[in-house]
């Protein structure tokens, strides 16, 4: 049997991290078993579904690298097929028209509440043959009235539902459009899905879906209902807790692998291993090992993972993602050193790509503003001589190489009888505008002679212009 899994989001917003984790689990399971992973857009709610949201979902999936083997399938393209199945259910007596008005249903529920019964549709149109003129009926599924349905869930075990608790659900609205439980069943069967991995907010739908599947003479897929993700206060993860959309993690400077690694560990573990390559995830992940209990989102841990990934990934890979952030800052990475060389210098020290991009701006754009505190301390009248000396030494340098640059900084410090830092800091401020950079010699090598010298000249000019303020 070929394993076929799916991710079936409703396009009513962005791709939520909870949805992304469900997609990841489905993707991993399919990949592990050499199966197929399908993307299905559940867009039948025409009022809430938007094209922007479809794009946001596709963009999120692409950014995460969760490539699908089939799809995206759109439910709105499949109305004819749903109608066919609804007709079949009507014909075989497993569905019926219901003419009850809103008021009737309300009265029914009122009475049930008064009798301390659970409000539910009582099936009064089940055996009704008379058509009510002028009323557009809904179509309801004839749920079995006796016995029970067992959802054999690989995460939760057997969950039993009494049929007497499930009323006859509406499968088509008055305008004939199909409802969620019907479309999911038809698609899951037509798309030959073997495993339905989804959020546990759908657990209560599963017995209803199983009953429809059985009425259609088919076998239910294997179900796995993934527990939800909580915020640090124990409430369901929502905007209130910070970023919940996958793309906002890109915006905040996370690498997709770091987010995937973080998500796979939410509710699943393999010993005490924290870092997993994608291949390891595919090999080690099993849906059966997912925890029953909800797990809490911990941003500090995600940040730590991101730092690990930035530090240990191939510079070219990090550069690929960093270039987007440079673009956000209005920087064209073609106007300076190769981005991967910049990454090599920066990857030890950045927690996020946003931070790395900001700290790498000076490689591509001359500094126009110095940090006030850094300038006050380092670009003083006293540092002019040092800067001029360094300028002369660097201009005379034969090979523009880190080692030689280092030797000249040292020589300059010795000549002035000061520590290396006294020479390095003013240069650092001159080229970066601030006091933080990778080691100066390699930084200058990468920045190049021309940019370095013009930054030092600009700093000397600046000091002269501001000499009066300082005195």
* Residues involved in catalysis: 239
Q: Which of 4, 202, 406, 408 binds ligand GLU (CB under 6 A)?
A: 202
The answer to whether 225 and 198 are in contact (CB under 8 A) is yes
The span from the CA of 63 to the CA of 249, in Å, is: 10
Q: What tokens appear for 73 in the block?
A: 């399938």
The reply on whether position 153 binds ligand GLU by CB under 6 A is: no
300, burial (CB in 10 Å: exposed 0-12, middle 13-18, buried 19+): exposed
What Cα–Cα distance (Å) separates residue 262 from each residue in 258, 266, 271? Answer: 6, 7, 15
Q: Residues in contact with ligand GLU, total (CB under 6 A)?
A: 7
CB closer to ligand GLU, 24 vs 357: 24
The reply on whether position 88 binds ligand GLU by CB under 6 A is: no
The reply on whether position 167 binds ligand GLU by CB under 6 A is: no
Phi, psi dihedral angles at 236 (to 5 degrees) = -55, 135
How does 396-424 read in b/e, with b if 16+ C-beta sit within 10 Å? eeeebebebbbebbeebbeeeeeeeebbb
CB closer to ligand GLU, 94 vs 200: 200
The reply on whether position 168 binds ligand GLU by CB under 6 A is: no
The reply on whether position 4 binds ligand GLU by CB under 6 A is: no
Which stretch in 8-16, 137-145, 224-232, 317-325 sits in contact with ligand GLU by CB under 6 A?
8-16
Closest to 379 measured CA to CA, from 343, 336, 433? 433
Question: 72: cis peptide before it, omega within 30°?
Answer: yes
Site for ligand GLU in 36-65 (CB under 6 A): 42
The span from the CA of 171 to the CA of 30, in Å, is: 30
Place of tokens 């206060």: 233
Q: Which of 95, 184, 193, 442 binds ligand GLU (CB under 6 A)?
A: 184
Q: What tokens appear for 297 in the block?
A: 């989102």
Which stretch in 2-10, 114-122, 143-151, 282-290 sits in contact with ligand GLU by CB under 6 A?
2-10
Place of tokens 């489905």: 26
Place of tokens 């500094």: 367
Which stretch in 6-14, 170-178, 238-246, 403-411 sits in contact with ligand GLU by CB under 6 A?
6-14
Instruction: Tell me how long the chain is.
Output: 471
The reply on whether position 8 binds ligand GLU by CB under 6 A is: yes
Q: Which of 10, 88, 204, 365 binds ligand GLU (CB under 6 A)?
A: 10
Shortest Cβ 35–ligand GLU spacing (Å): 17
CB closer to ligand GLU, 178 vs 333: 178
Which stretch in 4-12, 80-88, 232-240, 282-290 sits in contact with ligand GLU by CB under 6 A?
4-12
SS3 category, 317: helix
Using CB under 6 A as the criterion, which residues of the chain lie in contact with ligand GLU when the complex forms? 8-10, 42, 184, 198, 202
């Amino acid at each position: 049997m070929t394993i076929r899994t799916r991710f079936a989001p409703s396009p009513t917003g962005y791709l939520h991290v909870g949805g992304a984790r469900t997609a990841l689990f489905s993707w991993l399971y399919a990949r592990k078993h050499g199966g197929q992973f399908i993307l299905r857009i559940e867009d039948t709610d025409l009022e809430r579904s938007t094209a922007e949201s479809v794009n946001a979902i596709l963009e999120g999936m692409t950014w995460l690298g969760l490539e699908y083997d089939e799809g995206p399938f759109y439910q709105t393209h499949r109305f004819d097929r749903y109608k066919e199945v609804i007709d079949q259910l009507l014909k075989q007596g497993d569905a019926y028209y219901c003419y009850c008005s809103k008021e009737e249903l309300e009265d029914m529920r009122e009475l049930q509440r008064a009798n301390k019964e659970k409000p539910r549709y009582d099936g009064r149109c089940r055996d009704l043959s008379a058509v009510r003129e002028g009323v557009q009926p809904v179509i309801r599924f004839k749920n079995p009235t006796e016995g029970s349905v067992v959802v054999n869930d690989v995460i939760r075990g057997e969950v039993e539902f009494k049929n007497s608790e499930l009323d006859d659900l509406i499968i088509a609205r008055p305008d004939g459009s199909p409802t969620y439980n019907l479309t999911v069943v038809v698609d899951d069967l037509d798309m030959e899905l073997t495993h339905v991995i989804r959020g546990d907010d759908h657990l209560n739908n599963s017995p209803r879906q199983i009953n429809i599947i059985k009425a259609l003479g088919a076998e239910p897929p294997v179900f796995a209902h993934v527990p939800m993700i909580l915020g640090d206060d124990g409430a369901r993860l929502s905007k209130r807790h910070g970023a919940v959309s996958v793309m906002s993690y890109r915006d905040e400077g996370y690498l997709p692998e770091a987010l995937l690694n973080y998500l796979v560990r939410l509710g699943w573990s393999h010993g005490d291993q924290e870092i997993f390559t994608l291949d390891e995830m595919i090999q080690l992940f099993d849906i059966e090992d997912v925890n029953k209990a909800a797990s809490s989102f911990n941003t500090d841990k995600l940040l730590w993972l991101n730092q690990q990934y930035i530090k240990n990934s191939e510079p070219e890979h990090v550069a690929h993602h960093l270039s987007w952030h440079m673009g956000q800052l209005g920087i064209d990475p073609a106007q300076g050193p190769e981005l991967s060389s910049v990454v090599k210098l920066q990857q030890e020290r950045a927690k996020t790509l946003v931070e790395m991009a900001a700290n790498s701006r000076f490689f591509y754009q001359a500094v126009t503003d110095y940090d006030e505190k850094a300038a006050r301390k380092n670009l003083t009248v006293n540092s002019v001589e040092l800067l001029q000396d360094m300028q002369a030494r660097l201009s005379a340098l034969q090979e523009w190489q880190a080692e030689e640059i280092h030797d000249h900084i040292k020589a300059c410090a010795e000549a002035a009888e000061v520590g290396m830092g006294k020479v390095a800091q003013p240069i650092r401020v001159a080229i970066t505008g601030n006091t933080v950079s990778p080691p100066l010699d390699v930084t200058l090598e990468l920045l190049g002679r021309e940019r370095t010298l013009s930054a030092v000249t600009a700093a000397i000019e600046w000091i002269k212009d501001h000499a009066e303020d300082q005195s």
